[in-house]
Amino acid sequence: MRKKNARSIATQVLTQVIGYKHSLSDCLDTALPSLNDARDRALAQALCYGVLRWLPRLQALLQRLLRKPFKAKDSDIEVLLLIGLYQQLYMRIPDHAAIAATVDVTRTLKKPWATGLVNGVLRHFQRQQKTLLMSVDNDNSAKLAHPPWLLERLIQDYPKDWEAIVEANNTHPPLTLRVNARLMSRDDYLEHLRVANMGAVPTPYTEYGITLEQIPQGMPNSLPGFTQGWASVQDGAAQLAAPLLDVPIGARVLDACAAPGGKTAHLLEHYNIDALLALDNQPARVQKLTDTLHRLQLLAEVRLADASQPETWWDGEPFDRILLDVPCSGSGVIRRHPDIKYLRRSSDIKKLAAQQKRLLGALWKLLKPGGKLLYITCSVFAEENHLQIQNWLTSHADANETVISADWGHAMAYGRQILPGENNHDGFYYACLSKTK
């Protein structure tokens, strides 16, 4: 029996994501441990992310290279061809090596009949690459590697910025860290990275953010002091949340949709909080939240609960501050999660906006008069962001917006929007709401 390698694992993972709409992160978490070599794991991961990043373009090319579509039972061979095309177009692996290694996977898949087919298709592309690319790039969806519905929404919401957003979505994101302020300063951790020969610079607009110049192997445990809680992986835009909440001494704080715990932990690192309740409604995510706090040596009350149903978990004591990082389309973090382009549908946005409104309605009742709620998404869509807040303020006389004055992002009609790639940050939206009575 042939041993699985990086390309066969990538084929397995991408078949699940593309064919069955499974989450890329979940599939990788399951599949990567079967590869013992760190370089193989890195290659498998790079292939999965790369193919999904450029999937519409790769699929358009493959359509022109095949005489007829594959049967459902052979979708793994179709995925394997996409992996082969991605290597030829976007990786530094020599064509002959990429083709040979890709062809070899047909034997691991126990489909020797496909050996000649895979070899022939990839060699045909090698010979006709320029002509084929000119053909597929006549279509914007293929050329820009975004589904039509997503391009349409971006053009509608950002007629001047949509091209920059699309370009950012197709780039590799940086690795950004947040230093644990309870354990050391940013300068101290930068020195630890220097000693470890890991180049890094401070992240703009953050107090404890650090951006690495290269992603080291063995992440994240290979980072200095990671297991001891010295630092966490968190994008610079996400690090803006804690300072915006402005938590006073003695405040009672709710993090309503807390897992996997990055913002919860940052609140506890940034402020002296005696009472913080962190909720999530999925057991696996609650476990991740608990593990995060344990590694960082932080304490909070963690509960498995649905934030939209406070009657099942609330003790009746109102909160001074609420952090509401709502479920959203994830359209601002596509560069980190390229499967979002294909797992999401245009119809999802209206459903998500309705869910966000329900969460606002349920939690607003729990906020003290004079208290503050920070509404957050990692989306760029107006319907989830400033239009959501506009509708809320219009229909609630006891709600005011606290305008965010900042050098980062864009002031919207309500709230503030960071677009993907700006200052190398992910796309995030923030709005601060205060309760008047």
Positions marked catalytic: 378
Contact assessment for residue 48 and residue 13, using Cβ atoms and an 8 Å cutoff: yes
Cis preceding-peptide flag for 216 (omega within 30 of 0): no
In the structure encoding, which two tokens stand for residue 46, read together? 């790079």
In the structure encoding, which two tokens stand for residue 33, read together? 């441990």
Angle of helix 38-53 relative to helix 24-31, nearest 10 degrees, comes to 160
CA distances from 197 to 204, 208, 235, 253, 346 (A): 22, 20, 22, 39, 45
Where helices occur in 217-261 by DSSP H, the ranges are 241-245
Contact assessment for residue 179 and residue 185, using Cβ atoms and an 8 Å cutoff: yes
C-alpha span between 65 and 43 (Å, rounded): 25
Annotate 258-269 with b (16+ C-beta within 10 A) or e (fewer). Answer: bbbbbbbbbbbb
Q: Which own/partner contact pairs does 197-201 have at CB distance under 8 Å and 24+ positions apart?
A: 198/223, 198/224
Could you count the other beta carbons within 10 Å of the beta carbon of residue 370?
10
Would the CA dihedral through 89, 91, 95, 99 be positive or negative? negative
Contact assessment for residue 322 and residue 365, using Cβ atoms and an 8 Å cutoff: no
In the structure encoding, which two tokens stand for residue 10, read together? 């990538």
Where helices occur in 32-74 by DSSP H, the ranges are 38-53, 55-65
CA distances from 199 to 46, 193, 231, 261, 422 (A): 21, 7, 16, 26, 21
C-alpha span between 7 and 15 (Å, rounded): 12
In the structure encoding, which two tokens stand for residue 74, read together? 């052979």
C-alpha span between 245 and 270 (Å, rounded): 11
C-alpha span between 208 and 62 (Å, rounded): 45
